[in-house]
Amino acid sequence: MTTTTTTTRQAARTAKASVGTAKKIKNGPAIWGAYAFLTVAAILWLIPLLWAVYTSLRPKADTDRLGYFSVGGSYGFSNYVNAWTQGGFLTYFGNSVIITIATVALTLLFASMMAFAVSRYSWRFNVTLLIAFTAGNLLPPQVLATPIFELFKLIQLPYAISDSGSLLNQLVGVILANTGFQIGFCTFVLSNFMKAIPQELGEAARVDGAGVWTQYTRVIMPLTRPALAALGTLEVIFIYNDYFWPLILIQSGNRLPITTAINNLQGEFLSNYNLLSAGAVITVIPTLVIYLALQRQFVAGLTLGANKG
């Protein structure tokens, strides 16, 4: 039995290999064309980032003397130190962390509840709700911006909670706007994932006397973990990269997250490209770390959203 399998496999492998070689020989020039195109494209793709890194490593005195398009002078991290201290990155990163973590946690919690309800129970308005949720995320956020701004402005909060007396100029406001906007997409993705979990599992739990909450927390959520991980990674990047809501809802510079604060850096570091590029690289680092560590999750999240349906 084992031998047969092995032999068959080997045969298959040989067959595959020969097909592969045949194809490669047939497509010889085409393959080299593909390599050439991809390599040139990849180099072009890397240039903007490498140029930013290169510029950031050179002191302004050297680039003033030699020009930016030059080699020579000294190289070091002084621009990073200066950008960090002058740019107030610590505050911005702090704001980014608060906004990102809170938004992603709230979004995944509410979206998973919603997805659980519409995918595990048949209810009249399931599809209608799901359509409404999905459509909401597809709108350009600018369409909602004016009413949300006015709503947040008109909501009266005690000064003990909000120093602006409203939801404007508060991180909470940004978190709410982002959560509202992201729930639709996450519900759509999670409901597709949960639909694929066999209904028998829920039935078995019900027979054992599990209520709705127990099914959600003990049965479905543990099985949804891969989708939550992928979606969570994707959402962290989305929210960290969100530029729009803080731009509209935050007025004090020191409450901005890093992505929106870039605008101010541009003004502050005007014509000092060495500092500006260092600031840009500092801003890229968190996303790059997440990307390199969780690339698989991120790509899974992207395609999870796009391939179903």
Partner 1 sequence: MVGIPTLIQLVLVWIPTLASIVLSFFKWDGLGLSGFHFNGLVNYNFVFNQAPQFWPAVLHNIVWLLFLGIIGTPLGLLLAVLLDSKIRGSRVYQTVFFMPVMLSLALIGIIWELMYSQNNGLINNVLGTAGTPGAIDWYGNSNVNLFAALVAATWRHAGYIMVLYLAGLKGVDPAIKEAASLDGANGRQTFFRIVFPAMAATNIIIVVITVIESLRAFDIVYVINHGQNGLELLSVLIVEYLVGETQVIGIGSAFAVVLLVISLVPIVIYLSRTFRNQE
Residues 108-167 binding partner 1 (CB under 8 A) are 110-111, 113-114, 116-118, 127, 129-136, 138-151, 153-154
Range 50-69, binding partner 1 (CB under 8 A): 51-52, 55, 63, 67-69
11/41 with CB nearer partner 1: 41
**Rg (the chain; Cα; Å):** 26
Which three-class secondary structure string do you get for the chain? CHHHHHHHHHHHHHHHHHHHHHHHHHCHHHHHHHHHHHHHHHHHHHHHHHHHHHHHCCCHHHHHHHCCCCCCCCCCCHHHHHHHHHHCHHHHHHHHHHHHHHHHHHHHHHHHHHHHHHHHCCCCCHHHHHHHHHHHHHCCCHHHHHHHHHHHHHCCCCCCCCCCCCCCCCHHHHHHHHHHHHHHHHHHHHHHHHHCCCHHHHHHHHHCCCCHHHHHHHHHHHHCHHHHHHHHHHHHHHHHCCCHHHHHHCCCHHHCCHHHHHHHHHHHCCCCHHHHHHHHHHHHHHHHHHHHHHHHHHHHHHHHHHHCC
Q: Which stretch binds partner 1 (CB under 8 A): 3-11, 76-84, 199-207, 270-278?
A: 270-278
- Of 34, 66, 81, 161, the residue at the interface with partner 1 (CB under 8 A) is 34
Over the window 175 to 214, marking each residue x when it contacts partner 1 by CB under 8 A and - when it does not, the resulting string is -xx-xxx-xx--x------------------------x--
3/226 with CB nearer partner 1: 226
Region class of 88: left (phi > 0), else alpha (psi between -120 and 50), else beta: left
Tell me how far, at minimum, the Cβ of 102 lies from partner 1, in Å: 14
78/137 with CB nearer partner 1: 137
- Size of the chain in residues: 309
Tell me how far, at minimum, the Cβ of 114 lies from partner 1, in Å: 4
6/19 with CB nearer partner 1: 19
Q: Cα 56 to chain center, whole Å?
A: 25
Determine if 37 is a binding residue for partner 1 (CB under 8 A).
yes
- Of 224, 273, 275, 278, the residue at the interface with partner 1 (CB under 8 A) is 273
11/212 with CB nearer partner 1: 212
Tell me how far, at minimum, the Cβ of 150 lies from partner 1, in Å: 5
Tell me how far, at minimum, the Cβ of 74 lies from partner 1, in Å: 19
Q: Which stretch binds partner 1 (CB under 8 A): 5-13, 44-52, 86-94, 158-166?
A: 44-52
Determine if 241 is a binding residue for partner 1 (CB under 8 A).
yes
6/49 with CB nearer partner 1: 49
How many residues sit close enough to partner 1 to count as binding (CB under 8 A)? Answer: 98
Tell me how far, at minimum, the Cβ of 241 lies from partner 1, in Å: 4
